[in-house]
Amino acid sequence: MLTKKLRIGIVCPYGWDTPGGVQNHVRDLAEFLIQAGHEVSVLAPAIDEAKLPSYVVNAGKPIAIPYNGAVARVLFGPKAFARVRQWISSGDFDILHLHEPAIPSISLLACWAAEGPMVGTFHAAAKHQKVIYAIGPILEPAIEKLSARIAVSEAARLTLTNHLDTDAVVIPNGIYAKRYSNGISREDWSGNTLGFIGRFEEPRKGLQVLLDALPIIARFAPDVRVLVAGPGDSKEVEESIDPQLRRRFEFLGRISEEDKADFMSSIAIYVAPNTGGESFGIILAEALAGGACVVASDIPAFDSLLGSGEFGALFTSEDSTDLAKTVIDLLRDTDKRNRLSKIGKAHAQIFDWEVVAEQIFSIYEMAMVGGDKITLSSENRPWSRFLSRDEGKEK
């Protein structure tokens, strides 16, 4: 691990106010580095500057765009570029760590704006990234500036190699595994309970697959219940549930990290029915660390994280009948469920920040060979190469 204390600039492309895997990864990494004695500044878009941690600098208000089956809140354009350059100029950074620099965002702007040791982390995994195809010729020179590239999973690495013809070292997302290992089983969450955490209003999170599987599960497990946690308005979802099954659902809203640990310790099975668009599955790592028996769709990222079924059960993605069959099998077989919980919890330790940060530090060390610091690039208007003529005239 690096012993020299560094000045590290980290760029988060997505709105800090919106919950998401990339934001959580950046937050945890920054706080881990600060605890290790490094000076860290994070640049991120944000709506409410008053609620930002002291280490986060607001790059401006993000705008919402459809991206990878969800809505991404990003910031781009001349004004954002000026803020990025100002942040880099005043930062005196030893290294920049740019997250998702292959999409139009402040991470890409920072890549254009800076020279010197830069590491890019690629999170997205998708078969067809239309945005990248459209601006690929513009992206490639910027991506080539990176001193090193990290992908959070093999699926993310393949997305990068397929679209931009470059490679990356796979280093997974990190979690604080110990935070989830000491959860307390709550009586009101225990029993034949299935757990789900996520933005359930997003179709790709797959809650509908679980809803479709429940009538079958309930026939074989009459006392089964489903606990759903996460942001969103549950009213519309509840109205779509068969009235005879509605009482089996409880929507908890957002829960704290402490409650999440208790949640994973209490439920019988954690279900991740996601239909795609996931590059890693940090919630699966957290569920494993919390001792939950995990059932997940067999999308590539989840298959990889669960060791092709060694550390959790897999079902055919978007197949509610197969999900029901898998859940019923585990509810009937307590020994199998406990075995998966035990080996899954041990497996989750490879995602602990103590392990993951060591790997990231080694990439930093490689990137900084030569001793250069971050400086500003001479290119002042790189966006004009693919913005429209009118947007290119923005001052």
In this predicted structure, what is the pLDDT of residue 130? 53
Structure tokens at 355: 């392990």
Average pLDDT over residues 345-364: 96
275-297 CB burial, b ≥16 within 10 A, e <16: bbbbbbbbbbbbbbbbbbbbbbb
Average pLDDT over residues 137-145: 80
In this predicted structure, what is the pLDDT of residue 153? 92
Q: Which residues, 6 or more positions from 85, have their beta carbon under 8 angstroms from its beta carbon? A: 113, 376
In this predicted structure, what is the pLDDT of residue 393? 41
In this predicted structure, what is the pLDDT of residue 310? 97
In this predicted structure, what is the pLDDT of residue 395? 36
Burial status of residue 86 (CB atoms within 10 A of its CB: 0-12, 13-18, 19 or more): middle
CA angle 206-207-212, nearest 5°?
100
Name the maximum alpha-carbon separation found in the chain. 67
How many Å apart are CA 56 and CA 44, to the nearest integer?
A: 7
Q: What percent of the chain has pLDDT over 90?
A: 72
Structure tokens at 317: 């993605």
The answer to whether 7 and 68 have CB atoms below 8 angstroms apart is no
pLDDT at 383 over 60: no
What tens digit of pLDDT does each residue of 274-314 get?
Answer: 998 888 999 999 999 999 999 999 999 999 999 999 999 99
**Helix axes of 21-35 and 353-367: crossing angle, nearest 10 degrees:** 80
Give the count of beta carbons closer than 10 Å to the beta carbon of residue 153. 24
In this predicted structure, what is the pLDDT of residue 233? 86
Tally the C-alpha atoms within 13 A of residue 261's C-alpha that lie toward its C-beta: 12
What tens digit of pLDDT does each residue of 184-196 get?
Answer: 999 999 999 999 9
In this predicted structure, what is the pLDDT of residue 390? 40
Q: How many angstroms from the chain centroid is the CA of residue 201?
A: 17
What tens digit of pLDDT does each residue of 316-337 get?
Answer: 999 999 999 999 999 999 999 9
Helix (H, G, I), strand (E, B) or coil at 7: strand
In this predicted structure, what is the pLDDT of residue 262? 97
In this predicted structure, what is the pLDDT of residue 337? 97
What tens digit of pLDDT does each residue of 212-242 get?
Answer: 999 999 999 999 999 999 988 888 888 888 8
How is 136-198 classified by DSSP, letter by letter?
HHHHHHHHHT-SEEEESSHHHHHHHHHHHS---EE-PPPB-HHHHHT----GGG-SSEEEEES
How many Å apart are CA 97 and CA 12, to the nearest integer?
A: 9
Q: What percent of the chain has pLDDT over 70?
A: 91
Average pLDDT over residues 246-261: 93
Using the structure block, give the residue that is written with the tokens 């954690």.
Answer: 270
Q: Which of 276, 311, 19, 29 lies closest to 159, judged by CA?
A: 276
pLDDT at 52 over 70: yes
Q: Which domains does the chain have, with CATH numbers?
A: 7-174+353-392 (3.40.50.2000), 177-351 (3.40.50.2000)
What tens digit of pLDDT does each residue of 76-131 get?
Answer: 989 999 999 999 999 999 999 999 998 889 999 999 999 999 999 999 876 655 55
How many Å apart are CA 156 and CA 382, to the nearest integer?
A: 26
Average pLDDT, the chain: 90
How many Å apart are CA 37 and CA 119, to the nearest integer?
A: 20
Q: What are phi and psi of 335, to 5 degrees?
A: -60, -45
In this predicted structure, what is the pLDDT of residue 287? 97
How many Å apart are CA 93 and CA 11, to the nearest integer?
A: 12
- State the DSSP code for 47: S
Compute the 3-state secondary structure of the chain and give helix, strand, coil in percent, each to the nearest 5: 45, 20, 35
Using the structure block, give the residue that is written with the tokens 């208000």.
Answer: 61
pTM comes to 0.86
Element (H, E) at 379: none
